[in-house]
Amino acid sequence: MSRYEEFKSLSDTEDYLDFFDIEYNERLVYVKRFHIMKKYGEMIAKGEEKLEDKEKLLEFYKFALLSVYKNFENGYSPSAADIWNTWDNPSACSTCSTSSSCNDIEEVSNGTHSCTSQSSISFN
């Protein structure tokens, strides 16, 4: 198996860090693994568009992971909007298969969207 194929078979945050021999704080990774991998995925998607050489791509993957991890190590904490893209991508409603096909989505307040075809939810 090539190093690139080995990289593609990884699944856990710790596996990625170990693969690139990046020292890490286990507690930080345990707490922030979703956030780290979300940002890492965004960064490597950009690199995959521009790099074709597998060795250069692996170097970029390492750089991206190190950059993302160090940001979190230095206190970066994304907002819920950053993680879930709630401002740019309204969620699908019960009558639509995807938010992009919904004709009943409207902005209700400061970038927050709602589907007007959904019935009201009451917790009373």
Q: For residue 48, which of 36, 39, 57, 56 has the smallest C-alpha distance?
A: 57
**What pLDDT sits at residue 98?**
43
Q: Distance between CA 117 and CA 93 in Å, rounded?
A: 8
pTM for the model: 0.62
How does pLDDT run across 46-62, given as a tens digit for each residue? 878 888 889 999 999 99
- Provide the pLDDT confidence category of residue 14 given band limits of 50, 70 and 90: very high
- Across 4-13, 46-55, 95-104, the highest mean pLDDT is recorded for 4-13
**What pLDDT sits at residue 94?**
43
Name the residue ranges covered by the structural domains of the chain: 3-78, 88-115
Q: Which helix (H) or strand (E) holds 65?
A: helix 54-73
